[in-house]
Structure 1
Amino acid sequence: MRSLWKSICVYAFLVVGGLISIYPLVYMFMTALKPMTLLFEFPPRFLPSEMTLSNFRNAWVSQNFALYLFNSVLVTIASFGLIFLFSSMLAFAYSRFDFKGKKLSFTILMGGLVIPSLTLLIPQFVLIRQLGMFDSRWGLIVIYTAGAIPFTTFMLKGFFDSISRDIDESVEMEGGNAWTLFSSIILPLSKPAFVPATIFNALTVWEEFPWALTIINDPAKRTLPIALANFQGQYTTQWGIVFAGSLIAILPIILLFLLLQRYFIAGITAGAVKG
């Protein structure tokens, strides 16, 4: 009986926590469905008596919203491609090779996890300007890639360490080299580890605001966070349109998580125990 009540309390707590977490999203959706005339009705209604999709249409056609969405998709995909390339090779090197300065270099790399990104804004600005990447998408991609490498390397190394070293010996006996082990064995076995890395990095790049605001002046190169900030400034009182634009912006991330959710928990815990 005690275990039954304990289970009931746990599930009740999870249900309440889930409802609290999802309430802002549901409220945004309901507000986005309200026509302008019902936004400030009193007493307010959670379920609108009249619904419309005009807010979503207006959000999509205003301020080149589709172009900003394309820029965010492009920057996110390019950044993750480079993050995947460099972080996987770094994690493999730290997991499988012994070299001078290995512990020190890994400690320095992990030190990047504790440095607030805003403190690096000015040095990054000077560097990107000297590289000729100011006011370009590459200026975003390079910094996003560099910022995500420490965390992604840490996650992948934990998973690589859990893969038995006997596989290394088998590959060597078959005449394979380190590249064969990395590309043909380690990477295919590490697919679960890339799922949480994909979600975390995609979310970080997708919603990043300060750096994009700092180096992008050309309206044609703006990403969604900047567009939404300007969008909200234009429609200060038209919250239906503001919320509709915000929902469109977060939809790709929600879809990505829904597609990968069954691998998410497995990927988080995959490298927790070294085998």
Structure 2
Amino acid sequence: MRSLWKPILLYTLLVIGGIISVYPLVYMFLTALKPMTLLFEFPPRLVPSEITWSNFTEAWVSQDFARYLFNSILVTLSSFALIFVLSSMLAFAYSRFHFKGKGLSFAILMGGLVIPSLTLLIPQFLLIRQLGLFNSLWGLIVVYAAGSIPFTTFLLKGFFDSISFDIDESVEMEGGNAWTLFYSIILPLSKPAFVPATIFNALVVWEEFPWALTIINDPLKRTLPVALANFQGQYTTQWGIVFAGSLIAIVPIILLFLMLQRYFIAGITAGAIKG
């Protein structure tokens, strides 16, 4: 009988944790379905007695919401492409090559993980303005990529280190070079490591607000977090519309996670298992 208490307690805690995690989304969705007349009813009801989809329609058609969604998707994809190229090459160099100052340079790179992003806001602003990228999506992409490279490099290097170094000798014996090893061997074997990196970087870039608010003045170049902040200001009391817009904004991230979830745990633990 005692052996049953441990799994029962474990699953009970998991269910409670799941409910706590899902409840905000459920509350947002049910509130988005409420007409304006039911938002402030007393006593409040979680499940509305009357359902309307007009909040989603209004959220989509107002303030050029589709353009903001496109901007966020473009910035996220472009940032990740830049992160993928630079971080994978850096991780490969630190994993496979030996060069003077390797330890120091890697320590400096990892130091970027402990620097709060808000402390870099002013230096980044001055740099982006000097580069002529102010008020452009490229100004977002460059900074987002630079901020995510340290963590992604650290994650990929751990996985690259777990791949047998005997492969390097085999490639060399077959007449291959470092590029052959990197492109034809290391990258294909490291696909599981890119799944958590993809999800993490997508979340960071998709929801980033302070930097996007700082350098984007053109309304047509706003990303979703900035648009939603202005959206909430316009509809201060129409929380159904605000929640509907927020739900539309998180749909791409949810879809991304659902597509990659079966690889997520494997990608997180692969390096540890192989090591």
Relative to the length of structure 1, the TM-score reads 0.99
Distance (Å, rounded) in 1 between the aligned partners of 2:177 and 2:2: 57
How do residues 1-150 of structure 1 correspond to structure 2 at under 5 angstroms? 1-150=1-150
**AA partner of residue 261 (structure 2):** Q
What is the aligned-residue RMSD (CA, Å)? 0.7
- The alpha carbon displacement at 1:237 in A equals 0.3
Q: Tell me the number of residue pairs that the alignment of Structure 1 and Structure 2 aligns.
A: 275
**AA partner of residue 49 (structure 2):** S
Distance (Å, rounded) in 1 between the aligned partners of 2:263 and 2:97: 28
Distance (Å, rounded) in 2 between the aligned partners of 1:230 and 1:271: 43
Percent of counterpart pairs with the same letter?
85
**AA partner of residue 74 (structure 2):** L
Distance (Å, rounded) in 1 between the aligned partners of 2:266 and 2:207: 25
Partner of 2:244: 244
Distance (Å, rounded) in 2 between the aligned partners of 1:14 and 1:78: 36
1:30 counterpart SS class: helix
State whether residues 113 and 151 of structure 1, in contact with CA within 8 Å, keep that contact through their aligned partners in structure 2.
Answer: yes
Q: Deviations over 1:123-164 (max 9, x none)?
A: 000000000000000000000000000000000000000001
State whether residues 35 and 51 of structure 1, in contact with CA within 8 Å, keep that contact through their aligned partners in structure 2.
Answer: yes
Partner of 1:270: 270
- The alpha carbon displacement at 1:30 in A equals 0.2
Matched, 1:180 2:147: no
**AA partner of residue 122 (structure 2):** I
Q: Deviations over 1:212-254 (max 9, x none)?
A: 0000000000000000000000000000000000000001001
**AA partner of residue 262 (structure 2):** R
Q: Runs of 4 or more off by more than 4 Å in structure 1?
A: none
1:64 counterpart SS class: helix
State whether residues 161 and 274 of structure 1, in contact with CA within 8 Å, keep that contact through their aligned partners in structure 2.
Answer: no
Q: Deviations over 1:158-214 (max 9, x none)?
A: 000000111111111111110000000000010000000000000000000000000
Distance (Å, rounded) in 2 between the aligned partners of 1:258 and 1:66: 22
**AA partner of residue 132 (structure 2):** G
How do residues 184-195 of structure 1 correspond to structure 2 at under 5 angstroms? 184-195=184-195
- The alpha carbon displacement at 1:105 in A equals 0.2
Partner of 2:151: 151
How do residues 252-263 of structure 1 correspond to structure 2 at under 5 angstroms? 252-263=252-263
Relative to the length of structure 2, the TM-score reads 0.99
Distance (Å, rounded) in 1 between the aligned partners of 2:120 and 2:58: 37
Q: Deviations over 1:54-101 (max 9, x none)?
A: 000000001010000000000000000000000000000000000000
Q: Deviations over 1:11-45 (max 9, x none)?
A: 00000011011101100000000111111111111
- The alpha carbon displacement at 1:4 in A equals 1.6
2:272 counterpart SS class: coil
1:134 counterpart SS class: coil
- The alpha carbon displacement at 1:2 in A equals 2.2
State whether residues 58 and 241 of structure 1, in contact with CA within 8 Å, keep that contact through their aligned partners in structure 2.
Answer: yes
How do residues 153-168 of structure 1 correspond to structure 2 at under 5 angstroms? 153-168=153-168
**AA partner of residue 24 (structure 1):** P
- The alpha carbon displacement at 1:273 in A equals 4.6
**AA partner of residue 30 (structure 1):** L
Unaligned runs of 5+ in 2: none
Q: Deviations over 1:105-137 (max 9, x none)?
A: 000000000000000000000000000000000
